[in-house]
Structure 1
């Protein structure tokens, strides 16, 4: 069986080879594909085709995907956390250095000079660009995920004092963070102490406008804020006021809007933080591997709307179920299997919010009985999507 994949944006073709021969890349010509692979394409308002089973975002952020709508239709949404983490880390470290030394302003000024005495003009005028060193300064890192942890470690190696805030940091990430990075439990500790702040959290109701008049009021003068996460994390008018009063020396962001352009002390990059050859390849590889594993085995890795699910497929058939998280669903599934005189080899059920996912491995060779069970599940109101996977090994 050949599966159809529709790609949006420019997805690295070498990375897409991870899909293998069972997948056909149809691009915009796919009318009813099994999966989407996207980068920044805005899918809000998009009519998802009936056959669509999965969406893989070649990157970490998924604000361009209507997660709730996809979940209601039984579409698993994946991202690729960490695939572009090194690229963003390097962009943030570069931004810290650019803020400390104003190389961009210095270069622009130098290119206005004319005449045979340019060297003398340079020597006379360079004092206006005397900056500071970052060694000994304090960096606050909000969000210690794949990107934030790398920034914290490397900033520490550059001689900075580093404060990290993340109430949800994973155990795996926690082990990777240097013991010299001081973890704080309150954002106020970062706001009042940091000379630089970089933010790496998803956009949601809790993080929207995390930088506002209230947070700027807690900061010391001369701050630099670096935002390579999401533009909506900062309240722009409050930012402009903080710049006017000298609290914020510079705001550096990768998310440009008309409101931010040509503003003093605001440096806007065209969303290139994760745009390196290596990062684009890594994201495409991770997206391809994720889609292939899910389509071929039903296993889930790095989904934003369903739990991670891994179970070796040793039985002849596997049925995957996406269902509403209602009481006694596992018992109902087991009873349905038993009523058809089918043995369960393995069953794994996990929930996430109002929905759940089940891997049901069946020790039964009679395809007719398996098909009857699939149709039975499709008729249940609480079950949103049913897939049958045959073990080819």
Structure 2
């Protein structure tokens, strides 16, 4: 029986994938084998001894202590792409909101309450204050071409925009999904210089924090419209305010309100609604649960942020998995310990400083062998499934 702790409300569509004869799921579990989480912060949590994996129902993992998990052999999964369509749709809505002063117009219209029969005349007289350009024929710069960025680029292209994308790390899968009519920006600088609209779709890391700052704003067209549905910290708020006041940025729309943004002119702060659709929550839950389940039952890893993708069809009834540091001679040491039992199949993969080895063996593994594996320097966790 595997014990699963939920730190947030997880869609029942996902939780229902966990067989009640095999899994016990609750929001209070003393020593869980797995954790399912959405936005709850885990940085101050004590990691349970038996905790083997964490499934994040969403893409961002800033709420999870990744390094601490890695050092303890705990695999952390996320769900890239599961909420991509929801974020894409809100980004497209933001393109229109940034152009047409729709929000300002709605707020003004509400101020007319009490004007009675004069409202139609007042509207006709005042509507010109909220005019704005169409997006068709304008140039959109998409920074980051992952699952969401690709979908936004394709959708904008279908709406008649000229689209340029920039992502030096674009994956093969993402490239396959990108419309051939989306142009590749020669570099970051040229994208910023040429775009009428700019949308951010990159993860928040030490390298991308403050990605858009005074130097980058200085490159932009006068009156550029900026959208951020990735992470608030990608934009330097102080420099943004100056860019807005100078007219460099005519509108900024972000899904991450904070005190600074809420006090700025020409900013539309959306209350983090990017993935707030029932479809997105279900997709993320199903994906997180499926990955966690496959790992616990078969040791396979898909979409982990700290360990390599490692999948192998089971060849026997006994599987050994070893999470370890990515150091030389590790596979040889593991094989030496298991030299007295037949290894039917083996797979070893690495990701940065960490690695993972799976072995299918033809007989049960004696406890003394498990103990010997655990004593190898650099081994973080050993499981027999």
Pair in the same fold by TM > 0.5: yes
* Residue pairs, 1:86-235, within 5 angstroms: 86-113=85-112, 114-235=115-236
Question: Across the two proteins, how many residue pairs are aligned to each other?
Answer: 382
Match of 2:262 in 1: 261
Distance 1:136 1:214, change over 3 A: same
Deviation digits for residues 299-320 of structure 1 (CA, Å, limit 9, x no counterpart): 0000000110110112121110
2:282 match: secondary structure: helix
2:370: which partner in 1? 374
| 1:208-263 Cα deviation digits (max 9, x unpaired) | 11100000000011111111111110100000000000000111111111121131
Structure 2 alignment gaps of length 5 or more: none
- CA distance in structure 1 between the partners assigned to 2:96 and 2:18 by the alignment: 40
User: Matched residue of 2:106: which SS?
Assistant: helix
Tell me which residue corresponds to 2:25.
25
TM-score (norm 1): 0.95
Cα RMSD after superposing both structures:
1.0
2:322, 2:356 within 8 Å by CA — same for their partners in 1?
yes
Residue 268 of structure 1 and its aligned partner are, at CA, apart by 0.7
Q: How does 1:29-108 map to 2 (within 5 A)?
A: 29-108=28-107
1:342 matched to 2:338: no
TM-score by length of 2: 0.97
1:117 alignment partner, SS class: helix
Secondary structure of the structure 1 residue equivalent to 2:60: coil
Match of 1:353 in 2: 352
CA contact (8 A) 1:319 1:374 kept: no
* Alpha-carbon separation, structure 2, partners of 1:18 and 1:190: 44
CA distance in 2, matches of 1:287, 1:40: 13
Query: Structure 1 CA distance, aligned partners of 2:169 and 2:50?
Result: 35
Structure 1: state its 5+ residue gaps.
Answer: none
Paired residues of 1:141 and 1:198 also in contact (CA < 8 A): yes
> Contact (CA 8 Å) 1:19, 1:291: kept in 2 or not?
no
Aligned match of 2:12 = 13
3-state SS of the aligned residue for 2:180?
Answer: coil
The structural deviation recorded for 1:19 is 2.2
Cα shift at 1:347: 0.9
How many Å separate the matches in 2 of 1:127 and 1:375?
A: 77
Q: Distance in 2 between matches of 1:82 and 1:43?
A: 23
**Partner SS for 1:18:** coil
SS in 2 for 1:172: helix
Distance 1:217 1:41 in 2: 37
Provide the rounded CA distance (Å) in 2 between the counterparts of 1:317 and 1:229.
Answer: 42
C-alpha distance in 2 between matches for 1:370 and 1:244 = 70
Other structure's SS at 1:91 match: helix
- After the TM superposition, which parts of structure 1 deviate over 3 Å for at least 4 consecutive aligned residues? none
Deviations along 1:269-326, whole A, 9 cap, x unmatched?
Answer: 1111111010000000001100000000000000000110110112121110011111
